[in-house]
Amino acid sequence: MNPTDDEVRAFMVEIGLRDPENASEVTPPEVRYFQNYKPAYDARKASERAARERMDEQWRRADESRQRAEHYARHMKLCREWGNANGFAVGTRGAIPKAVREAYKEATGVEL
């Protein structure tokens, strides 16, 4: 692999071993450094990008799960209030009777 001077210069600037203002010719040690370390650098960057994407996906799924839980909790509370207001015996804790859930679904269209 014979890299161009611009490739070597850009890599050396990116990793902080060359001043961006330095437009002098690329030296043989810089070319060797590029050839030896650029593949590993690219692999590490790809690995970091993949890890970041996995983490973003985990956060997205956690956020969706939290939203579903909040939605469910809100409707459970509303179902209890609706049941008590409509003559059903619904406690403040525990399972909501199936008859109350079905009646709530018919009245509101929300399934629990």
pLDDT, mean over the chain: 94
Domain count of the fold of the chain: 1
Domain that holds residue 34: 5-108
What's the whole-model pTM score? 0.59
pLDDT band at residue 13 using 50, 70 and 90 as cut-offs: very high
User: What is the predicted pLDDT for the residue at 20?
Assistant: 94
Overall average pLDDT of the 17-39 stretch: 95
- Answer yes or no: are the C-beta atoms of 38 and 11 closer than 8 Å: yes
pLDDT band at residue 87 using 50, 70 and 90 as cut-offs: very high
For the cut 70, the answer to whether the pLDDT of residue 32 exceeds it is yes
